[in-house]
Structure 1
Amino acid sequence: MTGTIDSEALAWDKQNGLLPVIVQDAHTLRVLMLGYMNRDALAATLASGKVTFYSRSKQRLWMKGESSGHVLDLVGIATDCDADTLLVQVHPHGATCHLQRASCFETAPGDDLMALDALVAQRASTRPQGSYTTRLLESGIRRIAQKVGEEGVETALAAVAQDDAALLGEAADLLYHLTVLLRARGLSLQDAKQVLADRRG
């Protein structure tokens, strides 16, 4: 994905100067909404870094979140093979849907591990009181690393001596604590996924 695109290479004439825009969470890969852009909306999006659409009902440019504050920060933009549809990846601030849901497509699939990573990052930033993640982060790297070790042993033992449900529960605990450990080091699950991608060559 890239933050720049050649507007003149797009097939604006196919739909009376409008292109459908699929909006996707860059972290979880969940589809959030569908909108439309004209040339001016695309230019405004690229210039501001905030996703702006052309509202067919209001007949004007409309920056997502201009009223609610739930803006979409542009991460990347790409076109399809026919140059008549855009895929826009974003970091959303709050609910995207007017029904206060994360996505306008209620059951749209996403990457649950990346959703966990985003939640841990948010907790690391805000440190809400009463949060286990907050307590864990404030306990320091050594304690978090110890927890990862404990969860790893418990996962291995469950694989040998317990049923599938117990193994899956321990594996989920291990993934959560590993996510916190990475975040405590200023890293993320996405960084670990990139290492896997690099290994695939």
Structure 2
Amino acid sequence: MPAVVQDFQSREVLMVAYVNEESLNLSLEKRETVFYSRSRQELWHKGETSGNTQEIKEIYYDCDQDTILFMVDPAGPACHTGENSCFYRKIAEDTDLKAEKMMKMEQEAQQIETEFETEKVVDFLYDLILSRKQEMPEGSYTTYLFEEGIDKILKKVGEESAEVIIASKNEPEEELVYETADLVYHMLVLLVERGINPDQIRKELKKRHK
């Protein structure tokens, strides 16, 4: 069933996840949130990797008995982006502004689709990340990573590496492909941050196999 997580002090809604009987029992036992991943079909202890655990203060359930509410004292941000809450983006109330943004997004998507071939996607993505660092557009996750700095980027590389390891043990293979793509993206962010380009990696690999 869905589980809403709310800050015990501020009453801010932090995130929404899912629980099953086992994860709920573990949450009661640990007094920290433990959820059930529907995509991976396994339990996950919030903050086990990042350290951003959620100490449970109170637990409620709704009138239909099909949703859980955790009132927690969080040890850090709830969102994987580093935001305090997963609900940090607001739908534009101005219809014209919203339509303009949607049109711009569609145009950018069409431009991206025509600008790269599949075999060149890594180079294209590197150039896109590089442009994000130079322009720092507001609302971009890549911008957020650069604003947070090298420690945050390294933390994300570590987290995504762990996700690849976990996915390698699971079926189907689509999950491993998905997590590997996440890792490659964050590695490219790291390379941009350190001023290293993909050609340097290619040259190093070529040198090893001469």
TM-score of the superposed pair, with normalisation by structure 2: 0.44
The structure with the largest helix share of the pair is 2
